[in-house]
Amino acid sequence: MTSNNPLIVQSDMTLLLEVDNPLFEEARDALASFAEIIKSPEHIHTYRVTPLSLWNAASARVDQETIINTLHKYSRFEVPDNLLVEIREQISRYGLLRIEPFDNETLMLTSEDPTLLTQLLHTETIKDLATIRKDERSLLFPTINRGLIKQALVKIGYPAIDLAGYRTGDTLEFTLSSATKKGEVFNLRDYQVNAIEAFYRGGSIYGGNGVIVLPCGAGKTMVGLGVMHKLKTQTLILTTSIVATRQWRDELLDKTDLPEDALGEYSGEIKQIRPITLASYQILTHRKSKGEDFSHFYLFNQRNWGLIIYDEVHLLPAQVFRFTASLQAVRRLGLTATLVREDGREDDVFSLIGPKCFDVPWKELEKRGWIAQAECYEIRVKIDSSLRLEYASAENRQRFRIASENPRKHRIAKHLIERHKGESILVIGQYLRQLEGIAAELNAPLITGKTPVHERERIYSEFREGRIGLIIVSSVANFALDLPEASVAIQISGRFGSRQEEAQRLGRILRPKMDGRSAMFYSLVTHSTEEQDFALHRQLFLTEQGYSYTILTEDRLSV
């Protein structure tokens, strides 16, 4: 504690971090392991310590003394006692309850605190799931309730450590290739190896479920391949789209000795169930009508899977969450660039997929050259007086759309495209009418949710090969899109204040460039509107990762 320190710790569990301080970056990186960023204006960033942020820290073996010492080290004033007490309380709750095996049909919820078990037996959300008291230190419950118990315990503030183990699954032997079929050298990077080991934990009952958080372009798919190789078991891989499914398939064929007939695609076009089966969330959640069952959920039980990989786990649909609650005997790996969920269901990811078991700051990998350096700009676009009147008289939700579709953005986008002529450019937006208009003006290919898969793959292929230098894309391009040479992204509209969307869109251009140039990310925002307010929230996650936005106006661009 010194007057020159950058951190002010408050009794309401919020932390204020001064940006213009020599210790800012050091303190920011230390806070990221146990606190969540709330807002990030120019001079003071606000964090909050929450039960979930502390449980994730505990699961990653960050102990309470490390957290408390960090607060003391960077705090300008005395750290409030009540916050220290709350940190110790929440960290100590992680592991008070343990789920352990009993017999084939039954599991035990155990604790060294008999009073806590008595409390659970009288808790509405728990008592119908675990009703039999074996002894003073354990309750019995049916194996089928394993996920529901974990979910309910997190909701009431007592996360359980799951030590009930996993089924092995049917064996699938394969090797990773040091020389790919494309003639490239392939070796797992050190942080990818560390991520695999953090998930596996030496094969102990403490491993086998959890989330790996790595920046876009840092090779999350390679981590998935490494985990599959480590477990050597039949695997179900769930992705965000057919395009992502086929990218996984290409990587498996390129970097392993698996034969093609070991891989199956389960989609609207093909229904193959093989030792490694790849399916999208979209096909799993398809049903003919709202009242009917999800007709493809049987896929989860079609083979003796030993591993389920949830790609872009932060997007997991609610229906898949519900089914995953009954799949707790299968090892589960979540992959994502950010655990942020705008619906607030991060605790369901924690309880049903597993805790965060590995994370690397984006800027750390940037410094090491594993992802490209990036420059981020927010360009504030004027609104014409006629449109301003329409905006002022509209309802709130419609106001956002009017601002997002501001026609003046087209002129700015054209200027930026001309400035970066010769580079590989993505123009990304939310609204179909806007995207169709700018695609027509620029005579550029457009990819939306309506674009047939074969057409998407053709356009992406031509973009990768340099035959197309510009494509217009909707939100379908937010995730799991491999366009290594894309170096410029122009965001003309987005989904309200979505932090994960902002991070994913920057991620489309973060693969290292062959010539070492920086990635350029432009976000076009209508000045003095709700879109500008939402932009502040969108940028929060990237701010936490060390990125800053340079604010520009049309006048400064000399458009």
DSSP 14-59: EEEEESSSTTHHHHHHHHTTT-EEEE--SSEEEEE--HHHHHHHHH
Same fold yes or no, 190-360 and 366-557: yes
| Separation of alpha carbons 487 and 366, rounded Å | 15
Portion of the chain with pLDDT greater than 90, in percent:
62
pLDDT digits (tens, 9 = 90+) for 314-323: 888 878 887 7
82 contact partners, CB below 8 Å, separation of at least 6: 11
Q: Facing residues of 8 across strands? A: 16
Average pLDDT over residues 515-537: 92
| Separation of alpha carbons 82 and 188, rounded Å | 45
pLDDT digits (tens, 9 = 90+) for 254-293: 999 999 999 999 988 888 999 999 998 888 887 776 767 7
pLDDT digits (tens, 9 = 90+) for 379-414: 999 999 989 999 999 988 899 999 999 999 999 999
pLDDT digits (tens, 9 = 90+) for 30-77: 998 899 888 776 788 899 999 999 999 998 889 999 999 999 999 999
Domain ranges of the chain: 7-93, 99-162, 190-360, 366-557
CATH topology of domain 366-557: Rossmann fold (3.40.50)
pLDDT of the residue at 158: 95
From edge to edge, which strands make up the β-sheet containing 331-336?
263-266, 276-280, 235-239, 307-311, 331-336, 209-213, 356-359
Looking at domain 190-360, what is its CATH homologous superfamily?
P-loop containing nucleotide triphosphate hydrolases (3.40.50.300)
User: Mean pLDDT across the chain, nearest whole number?
Assistant: 90
pLDDT of the residue at 443: 94
